[in-house]
Amino acid sequence: MAIFQKLATGPMAVHELAGTLPVSRPAVSQHLRVLKDAGLVSDSKRGTRRVYRVNPAGIALLRAHFDRFWAQALNAFEVSVEPHTTDTKREKYVTDRRRSSRK
């Protein structure tokens, strides 16, 4: 996130990015890789440097995803406001016992 924020101030090379952050350059590289895989940033070679910039298309996609999320959440609240006889009966005795195992 912090890396992404920095990139949002303009395209930067890896070592510049690392210079402004409290982590090593390889750490930054690793983060950039996942951001790139997620389509949120793009890169281009520039001499020995590799310049990264935010990718508007990826951002738009993620944003859309979130927007649907908010809509769903708020809509759910709307519905729940209607009186809606929540008549949940007591059920027949189940204590903490788990049903799915997880080694």
Partner DNA sequence: TTTATCCGTAAGCTATAGCTTACGGATAGT
Partner DNA sequence: ACTATCCGTAAGCTATAGCTTACGGATAAA
Smallest gap, in angstroms, from Cβ of residue 39 to DNA? 16
Contact 43, 26 (CB under 8 A): no
Task: Give whichever of 26 and 39 is closer to DNA, judged by the CB atom.
Answer: 26
Task: Give whichever of 37 and 77 is closer to a copy of itself, judged by the CB atom.
Answer: 77
Contact 44, 50 (CB under 8 A): yes
Contact flag: residue 32 with DNA (CB under 7 A): yes
Read off the tokens for 69: 């999320």
Burial group, residue 54, by CB count within 10 angstroms (0-12, 13-18, 19+):
middle
What is the x/- site pattern for DNA, positions 43-82, by CB under 7 A? x-x-xxxxx-------------------------------
Contact flag: residue 9 with a copy of itself (CB under 8 A): yes
